[in-house]
Chains A and B, each alone.
Chain A
Amino acid sequence: MKRDAWIAVVLFALVALLPLSGEAYWLRLGTTVLMYGVLAMSWNFIGGMAGYPSFAVAAFFGLGAYTGAVAQKFGVPPGLAWASAGLTALLFAALLGLALLRLRGHYFAIASLVVAEVLRELVNSMTDLTGGGMGLNLPIPAMSSVDAQARYFFYVMLLLAVATFAAMLFTRYSKLGFGLRCIQQNESAADMLGVDTTLYKVSAFALSGVFVGVAGAVYASWVYYIEPPDVFDVLFSVKAIVMVLLGGAGSMFGPLVGAAAFLSLEELVWRNYLDVHTGVLGLMIVVLVLFLPKGLLSLSQRLGRRGGAR
């Protein structure tokens, strides 16, 4: 645990230096990587540790975005609005988990996939509160310059990523994390050994919701304007999962590495193959998952072993 914590401290400290580059492009990419890192790490609680293939990331993200936006519409200051978005996502995830986590495997995946669609329709129809399909404008933070704003949101996302990572690290090396590993490997055997499986799964699901909710609210403030199809986009769920698988499921740094790798790939491919970029990207992911099923992080171990054999 200590080793992981130290690596994380160094890693996050290096990332914190990014604004020194002075390039708006890199700052924007960095903020995006951190945001997706939060989504991927959050998915790791339920998908990686507990082994439940959740597609609810988009639901928590949109819920957080709208909670934060509506709160700010009524004059709540941004920090408080983000916190309330996290709390809302936490409670929503816990209640949703009580209902959905009775399902396993594909059935759970499908049920969790639908949640974002339901929320989107609700937000669409609650025109008075959310603006419906018209979307919702957020107050633009009063800051000296556009650069200062970009730096501000970069550091907010960094802070959120650090918090998410810390939560993941503590969970991994706690009774909760151990119980989740048992559930992931054999749920009925875990039950028989005295693991309160409902409580543990709901806890994992709630943890997978809270930070995504905050990320959604911060995202809303960052881009000033949100609309339902934008924040309830199923791609938030899919990308979070792909990133974790790409980096290495269940590992500590997998989600972050996966987020950075995925978004870098996306940028490269998008720039060079504008017409077919989704196709090329999809192909690369398929190849990666086929040949590195345990993720990019397993590459270092493999190379290490080969080197040792010589």
Chain B
Amino acid sequence: MSALLELGGVTRRFGGLRAVSDVTLSVAQGEVVGLIGPNGAGKTTLVNVITGVHPASAGTVRFGGEDITRLRPYQAARRGIARTFQIVQPFPGMTVLENVAAAAMFAGGLSYGEPARAEAMQHLRFVGLAELADQSAAALTLAMRKRLEFAKGLAMRPKLLLLDEVNAGLNAAEVDQALELIRTIAARGVTVLIIEHLMKVVLSLCSRIVVLHHGELIAEGAPQAIIEDPRVIQAYLGKRYAKAQDEARG
């Protein structure tokens, strides 16, 4: 397996704060990797570094062998990096279809008008929003907006899809639907990096999990190994709990 995304010693400072500190990580083509960590661990910052919103202060980001560390977000998008936002960001004054068509046009490289709209419609059908194509995006419920984000991401014809807490705020049934969607997308060969708090989602989807804490990569490995890793338990639940559990195990 060749590496699609390679982070080499990536650091991002905001003033004196090191939000991401010396992270080295490699994601192979076709992998589904989970990125977890407590609030404020630097997960979203890492996504922002990859997409060029906040370029790395030090280190390199390589995508498909090319150095993309200093690229602007729109350039990263055109190379096949799509992201969804933790707080969904549709264009409220446009229809659902136009939202997706924008992605197909600017990142997917389709021409204005019918080609972009046709492709957008396909993706809307896939996520189950086809009936709402002509509605204003502002009228959608949260769960629907998240599906709209999926459709937008797919219309960008991504090689790498970064999902930033797409399941936050959804109820159990909606989470199951989202899970199904992500699985289908991954089965198409799209590499997925998923930031998630719901362990159920991470455990059922990911082949590998990466844990960030205070901006540093503290653990990396198979899902089962990760949730038993004392460093991870300590990061999430505190030193005392980790110790107590250790003793209980004897």
Using a CB–CB distance below 8 Å, which chain A residues touch chain B? 174-175, 178-179, 181-182, 184-186, 188-197
List residues of B (48-77) whose CB comes within 8 Å of A's CBs: 51, 53, 72-74, 77
Min distance, Cβ A50 to any Cβ of chain B, angstroms: 13
A191-B73, A193-B74, A194-B108 provided; 7 other pairs, C-beta below 8 A? A181-B94, A182-B91, A188-B53, A190-B106, A191-B53, A192-B85, A193-B156
List residues of B (78-109) whose CB comes within 8 Å of A's CBs: 78, 83, 85, 89-94, 98, 102-103, 105-108
Nearest to B110 among chain A residues (CB) is A175
**A194-B91 contact given A179-B106, A189-B85, CB 8 Å threshold:** no
21 A-B residue pairs with Cβ-Cβ distance under 8 Å, sorted by A, are: A174-B112, A178-B98, A178-B102, A179-B102, A181-B91, A181-B93, A182-B102, A186-B91, A189-B91, A190-B91, A190-B106, A191-B53, A191-B72, A191-B77, A192-B73, A192-B83, A193-B107, A193-B152, A194-B108, A195-B102, A197-B74
Using a CB–CB distance below 8 Å, which chain B residues touch chain A? 51, 53, 72-74, 77-78, 83, 85, 89-94, 98, 102-103, 105-108, 111-112, 152, 156
A195 touches B91 (CB 8 A): no
Contacts of A186 in B (CB 8 A): 89, 91
B112 touches A195 (CB 8 A): no
A191 touches B91 (CB 8 A): no
**A193-B77 contact given A185-B93, A188-B53, CB 8 Å threshold:** yes
B106 touches A194 (CB 8 A): yes
Our pick among B77, B90, B98 for the contact of A192 (Cβ within 8 Å) is B77
Min distance, Cβ B77 to any Cβ of chain A, angstroms: 4
State the CA gap A184–B111 with chains docked (Å).
21
Contacts of B93 in A (CB 8 A): 181, 184-185
Contacts of A181 in B (CB 8 A): 91, 93-94
Nearest to A185 among chain B residues (CB) is B91
Contacts of B73 in A (CB 8 A): 188, 191-192
Min distance, Cβ A262 to any Cβ of chain B, angstroms: 25
State the CA gap A189–B102 with chains docked (Å).
11
B94 touches A185 (CB 8 A): yes
State the CA gap A186–B92 with chains docked (Å).
9
Min distance, Cβ A171 to any Cβ of chain B, angstroms: 12
Contacts of B98 in A (CB 8 A): 178
Contacts of B108 in A (CB 8 A): 194
B156 touches A194 (CB 8 A): yes
Our pick among A174, A178, A189, A194 for the contact of B89 (Cβ within 8 Å) is A189
State the CA gap A179–B72 with chains docked (Å).
17
State the CA gap A152–B34 with chains docked (Å).
71
Min distance, Cβ B182 to any Cβ of chain A, angstroms: 19
Min distance, Cβ A202 to any Cβ of chain B, angstroms: 14
State the CA gap A190–B103 with chains docked (Å).
9
State the CA gap A68–B92 with chains docked (Å).
43
Contacts of A195 in B (CB 8 A): 74, 102, 106
A196 touches B91 (CB 8 A): no
Min distance, Cβ B66 to any Cβ of chain A, angstroms: 17
Nearest to B72 among chain A residues (CB) is A191
Contacts of B112 in A (CB 8 A): 174-175, 178
Contacts of B106 in A (CB 8 A): 179, 182, 190, 193-195
State the CA gap A214–B151 with chains docked (Å).
44
B74 touches A191 (CB 8 A): yes
A194 touches B77 (CB 8 A): yes
Min distance, Cβ B176 to any Cβ of chain A, angstroms: 27
Contacts of B92 in A (CB 8 A): 185
Contacts of B83 in A (CB 8 A): 192
Min distance, Cβ B48 to any Cβ of chain A, angstroms: 10
Considering residues A174, A182, A193, which has the most beta carbons from chain B within 10 angstroms of its beta carbon? Answer: A193
State the CA gap A174–B105 with chains docked (Å).
11
State the CA gap A258–B201 with chains docked (Å).
55
Nearest to B85 among chain A residues (CB) is A189
State the CA gap A74–B224 with chains docked (Å).
82
State the CA gap A186–B152 with chains docked (Å).
14
Contacts of A192 in B (CB 8 A): 51, 53, 73-74, 77, 83, 85
Min distance, Cβ B65 to any Cβ of chain A, angstroms: 21
Our pick among A175, A189, A197 for the contact of B105 (Cβ within 8 Å) is A175
Min distance, Cβ B160 to any Cβ of chain A, angstroms: 13
Nearest to B88 among chain A residues (CB) is A189
Contacts of A191 in B (CB 8 A): 53, 72-74, 77
State the CA gap A197–B78 with chains docked (Å).
13
B94 touches A196 (CB 8 A): no
